[in-house]
Amino acid sequence: MIDFLNSIIVLLNFIIIPGITYGSQLAIGALGVTFVYAILRFANFAHGEIMSFGAMITILFTWFFQSQNIGLGILPTALIALPIGIVATIILCIISDKFVFQYYRYQKSVPVVLAMVSIGVMFVINAIIRIIIGTETIKFSDGQKFIMKAKQFKVMTGLNEGLALKSSQVITILITIALLTFTFWFLQKTKTGKSMRAFSDNEDLALLSGINPDRVVFITWVIVGVLACVAGTLYGLDKSYKPIIYLNLVLPIFASAIVGGIGSPFGAVVGGYVIAFSEIMVTYAYKKFFVYILPSSLEPSGLVQLLSTDYKFAVSFSILVIVLLIRPSGIFKGRVL
Per rule CB under 8 A, count of chain residues that contact other proteins: 46
Can you give the length of the chain in residues?
Answer: 337
For the purposes of burial, counting CB atoms within 10 Å of the CB of 93, is it exposed (0-12), middle (13-18) or buried (19 or more)? buried
Q: Is 148 helix (H, G, I), strand (E, B) or coil?
A: strand
- Told to check if 120 binds other proteins by CB under 8 A, we report yes
Q: Which of 74, 177, 321, 333 binds other proteins (CB under 8 A)?
A: 321
At its nearest, how many Å lie between other proteins and the CB of residue 165?
A: 31
Taking the CB of residue 251, how many other CB atoms lie within 10 A of it? 16
Helix axes 167-189, 265-283, angle to 10 degrees: 150
For the purposes of burial, counting CB atoms within 10 Å of the CB of 293, is it exposed (0-12), middle (13-18) or buried (19 or more)? middle
Q: Which of 72, 134, 145, 178 binds other proteins (CB under 8 A)?
A: 134
- Told to check if 72 binds other proteins by CB under 8 A, we report no
Query: Measured over all CA atoms, what is the biggest interatomic distance in the chain, rounded to whole angstroms?
Result: 72
Q: Are 21 and 272 in contact (CB under 8 A)?
A: no
- Told to check if 325 binds other proteins by CB under 8 A, we report yes
Q: Which of 105, 317, 331, 332 binds other proteins (CB under 8 A)?
A: 317
Binding track, positions 164-193, relative to other proteins; x by CB under 8 A: ------------------------------
Q: Which of 88, 117, 196, 282 binds other proteins (CB under 8 A)?
A: 117
- Told to check if 95 binds other proteins by CB under 8 A, we report no
Please tell me the distance from the alpha carbon of residue 79 to that of residue 114, in angstroms, as a whole number. 34
Site residues for other proteins per CB under 8 A = 42-43, 100, 103, 110-117, 119-128, 130-131, 134-135, 247, 251, 254-255, 258, 308, 310-311, 313-314, 316-318, 320-321, 324-326, 328, 337
